[in-house]
Amino acid sequence: MKTVSLVIDGNKVSAPDGERLLWVALDNGIYIPNLCAIRNGFGPASACRLCFVEVNGKERPVTACTEPVTDGMVVNTRGESALRLARSAFELIMASHPVDCAHCASNGSCELQKIARHLGVSLKTKRFRKLTRELPVDDSHSLFTYDPNKCVLCGRCVWVCREQLGIGVLGFAHRGFQRVVTAFAGDVLGKSRCQECGECVRVCPVGALAYKDAEARDHRIASAVGARLGTNIEPEVYR
C-alpha cells in the first residue's frame, strides 16, 4: 500500500494513502475530539460533528473522520474556524446532557470531560437553553444499567452489537429529540436477548452504559467475550 507524507499541526507524519485523517492524527498522538468514531471496519459516521479541522486548500473546515489523507496535505487541528464549529457542536450536546460528574461512573474517564478541556469550554454551557429529557433509567439488566439521559447517541454500542458481534440487540428508535438507544420493540434490556459480553459498555464514551458490579463485570466479560469472539481482536475506540 502506498504511503504518503503530510503535516499535522507542524508535525510531519506518514500514513497509508487514503486513511482517514482522524485515525492518522490519533495514531500519532495528536488528539482530535470525537464521540462517534470507532475503528476496525466502521465507516465514518460523522454524527457528532466534533472532529472539525482545517486543511490547506479547503475553503471550509472538514470532519477528520471523513477526510482521506493525501500526499503533501497540511492540517491545522487548532484553527479558529474549526474550533468554533466543534465548540458549537459540543455545547449543543451538553445543552441536553445532565452534568453530575461526581455521581457518574465515568467520572475521570468520560470523553466529554476530555473534550471540554481540549476545547476550553465548560461542561455547563450557558450559550444554549438547557433542555433535558428526564427519561427513566433502565436497570433491568443483571450486568449494567442504561441511562438514556446521559446517552450522546454516538452509535458505538449499536454498531458493536450489530456489526462487530452480529447480535443486534441494540438499535435506535424515534427521531430528533426523542431519539434513544433501545432493544427491539422498546423492551427493557433485561428482557432482551443480550449475551452479556459487555462490549456495549466498553465502547460507550460517557456514563450512559455502566456496570453494576466490578467483580461481576471482570468475570462475565472475560468469559462471554472469549466464548463469543474466540479472539483478542476488539474494536478500537480512542479516549
DSSP string of 66-99? TPBP-TT-EEETT-HHHHHHHHHHHHHHHTTS--
pLDDT of residue 233: 47
Computed from CA positions of residues 44, 176, 141, 171, in that sequence, does the dihedral angle turn out positive or negative?
Answer: negative
Contact 194, 160 (CB under 8 A): no
pTM across the whole model? 0.86
pLDDT value at position 117?
96
* pLDDT given at position 39: 81
Domain ranges of the chain: 1-132, 133-239
Extract the runs of DSSP E, i.e. beta strands, from the chain. Answer: 3-8, 11-16, 52-55, 62-63, 74-76, 144-146, 171-173, 180-182, 209-211
Q: What is the pLDDT of residue 235?
A: 56
CATH number attached to the domain at 1-132: 3.10.20.740
Positions of the chain with pLDDT lower than 50, given as ranges: 231-233
CATH architecture of 133-239: 2-Layer Sandwich (3.30)
Question: Which pLDDT belongs to residue 232?
Answer: 46
In this structure, are residues 99 and 69 in contact, taking their beta carbons and an 8 Å threshold? Answer: no
pLDDT the model gives residue 227: 56
pLDDT, residue 213, reads 78
Instruction: Give the C-alpha separation, 118 to 116, whole Å.
Output: 5
